[in-house]
Amino acid sequence: MNKDTNNDIAVNNDMENSLNNTNNLEKDNQKFLTVTMGCQMNVRDTEIMEQMLREMNYEATHEQEDADLILFNTCCIRETAENKAYGRISSLKKLKEKNPNLIIVVAGCMAQKDQEAVRKRVPHVDLVFGTHNLHQFPDLLQEFKRYHHVKTSIWEEDEGLVPVLPTKRKYSFSASVNIVYGCNNFCTYCIVPYVRGRERSRLPEDIIAEIKELVENGVKEVTLLGQNVNSYGKNFKEAFDFSDLLIEIDKIDGLERVRYMTSHPRDFSDKLIDTIAQSQKICEHFHLPIQSGSDHILKEMNRGYTREMYMNIVAKIRQRIPNASITTDIIVGFPGETDENFQETMELVNDVQYDSAFTFIFSPRSGTPAAKMEDQVPIDVKKERLQKLMELQNNSSLRINKALEGQILQVLVEKVSDHNSDMMSGRTRTNKIIIFPGDEGMIGKLIPVQVTRAQTWNLMGETV
Ligand code: 5AD
Ligand code: SF4
């Protein structure tokens, strides 16, 4: 639906005297800086917006004082994510006063959720547009620069699939590829279906063509992105599901590794486990968000599976792919979660023995059913539960990692370690970070590394 509301998209009304932009329009080599918050989808969207800026004669800078335009790609999955975004945007107020020509753009999920709120809370921002309007960014920016004002139609629902143009990726050897946009699951705590719209799958031929082109340009690893990759192809007339897509991608010559995120246990089929077990390139890493170990809470969350169904999937993965790593997402303090319900989560975590887990305190998101539920859990109880869960999980992570000591693993080298410039950082097929002595010439290469010491969050190693 393309609703022509002829609405103003986030214009700073104080701009009249601050932007004398005809000169600005002509100036070459304007500089941009981007700040991305949230998930891999946002990382990918930022790459697309950066490419749009490059095509408008902008170049990247890391110094905010040098920037002519600063773009925030925001997340609203939890309140903490929004507060972080507001904090960073607010901190630019001084810079904006010093340099009134600076254009501050707020894009992404927080902007999609409530543009008015963004404009009110950070009025020094110039342009605000949500995820559904991402592909209008160049027009919106040009319009803003010309008239200091934006009139546009706001897409309430991003139903279209916009063609993907070649974009500069974060790494030259690893790239993310969208396969399905949006989400139809409506888990009762989650804002994503409201800000990312309904599920839409890209055509297999478009995805394969994009990956082949990436591989021709040196990419070795692709990560297939979707809020729920397992529902890929559900809207196609002819049957073609996520497993079928993986089978085709696995055949691409020159590609070394395939990852995907995120999986939903509701749609995780035996066919998919078989496909992954038989493939060459699909990494042995399963990120399978459980959210809660209590059947009652899972039902309240509208997750569509029980603890038993989940444990069956885990058992099948372990049986077919014994060296697989399994990770998860867990929310504590969902409304109505009792001590017993939380205990069930602890037991499940103990039973599964996850390699690692992202653990979150439930954050009520206005507009979602869970925000209105009774029996909200007090914050100190939530914090206490999170602490216990993290301790339990950290013990498992360390125990599982310790079992890898001495093993030689294939590693894709990503970068110089953030903490020590003599060390390199890479990832195993099971998605573990490994740090080892090396040099920049290794970046983008697949090399064998022996694990010398295991820690909770990463492995230390030596090249062999
Ligand atoms: N509160 C806390 N965590 C949430 N997640 C999604 N919505 C919320 C919320 N309202 C978590 C889920 C999801 C991950 C990406 O974020 O665990 O899997
Ligand atoms: Fe949110 Fe559930 Fe969709 Fe994941 S599957 S994006 S948690 S609604």
**Cα 404 versus chain centre, distance:** 28
Cα-to-centroid distance, 135 and ligand 2 (Å): 23
Q: Is 263 in the pocket of ligand 2 (CB under 6 A)?
A: no
Calpha distance 382→386 (Å, rounded): 6
Provide the residue type at 382 as one letter.
K
Q: Is 264 in the pocket of ligand 1 (CB under 6 A)?
A: no
* pLDDT over 80 (residue 417): yes
Query: Binning pLDDT at 50, 70 and 90, where does residue 1 land?
Result: very low
Provide the residue type at 126 as one letter.
D
Q: Which atom of ligand 2 is nearest to the CA of 227?
A: 6
Look over the chain and give the mean of its residue pLDDT values, rounded to a whole number.
Answer: 91
| pLDDT for 20 | 35
| pLDDT for 147 | 83
**Cα 327 versus chain centre, distance:** 15
Mean pLDDT of 253-276: 95
Cα-to-centroid distance, 30 and ligand 2 (Å): 38
* In 251-378, alpha helices (H): 270-278, 295-300, 307-320, 339-352
Mean pLDDT of 10-37: 57
Q: Is 370 in the pocket of ligand 2 (CB under 6 A)?
A: no
| 355: its two tokens | 């390699």
Mutation test of ligand 1: which of 109, 113, 189 has the most ligand atoms closer than 8 Å to its C-beta?
Answer: 189
* pLDDT over 80 (residue 325): yes
Better-predicted residue by pLDDT, 28 or 22: 28
* pLDDT over 70 (residue 171): yes
Cα-to-centroid distance, 39 and ligand 1 (Å): 11
Ligand at minimal distance from the CA of 359 is: 1
8 A C-beta contact, residue 414 and residue 174: yes
**Cα 65 versus chain centre, distance:** 28
Phi, psi of 59 (to 5 degrees): -130, 160
Q: Which atom of ligand 2 is nearest to the CA of 191?
A: 1
Q: Is 183 in the pocket of ligand 2 (CB under 6 A)?
A: yes
Strands 221-225 and 174-178: parallel
Closest C-alpha among 309, 386, 317 to residue 345: 386
Q: Is 362 in the pocket of ligand 1 (CB under 6 A)?
A: yes
Q: Which domains does the chain have, with CATH numbers?
A: 5-159 (3.40.50.12160), 170-283 (3.30.750.210), 408-463 (2.40.50.140)
Query: Binning pLDDT at 50, 70 and 90, where does residue 21 land?
Result: very low
Question: For ligand 2, atom 4, which residue shows the shortest CA distance?
Answer: 227
Output Rg (C-alpha) for the chain, integer angstroms. 23
Query: Binning pLDDT at 50, 70 and 90, where does residue 148 land?
Result: confident
- ∠453-358-425 over CA atoms, to 5°? 40
Mean pLDDT of 13-33: 52
Adjacent-strand bridge partners of 425: 415, 435
Flag the least confident range among 13-17, 151-155, 304-308, 403-407. 13-17
Calpha distance 186→446 (Å, rounded): 39
Cα-to-centroid distance, 331 and ligand 1 (Å): 6
Q: pLDDT > 70: what percent of the chain?
A: 90
Q: Which atom of ligand 1 is nearest to the CA of 370?
A: 10
pLDDT, tens digit, for every residue of 46-71? Answer: 999 999 999 999 999 999 999 999 99
| pLDDT for 107 | 95
* pLDDT over 50 (residue 95): yes
Better-predicted residue by pLDDT, 435 or 132: 435
* pLDDT over 50 (residue 3): no
| 295: its two tokens | 């059947």
pTM of this structure: 0.90
| pLDDT for 163 | 61
Question: For ligand 1, atom 7, which residue shows the shortest CA distance?
Answer: 190
Calpha distance 129→95 (Å, rounded): 22
* pLDDT over 50 (residue 23): no
| pLDDT for 155 | 59
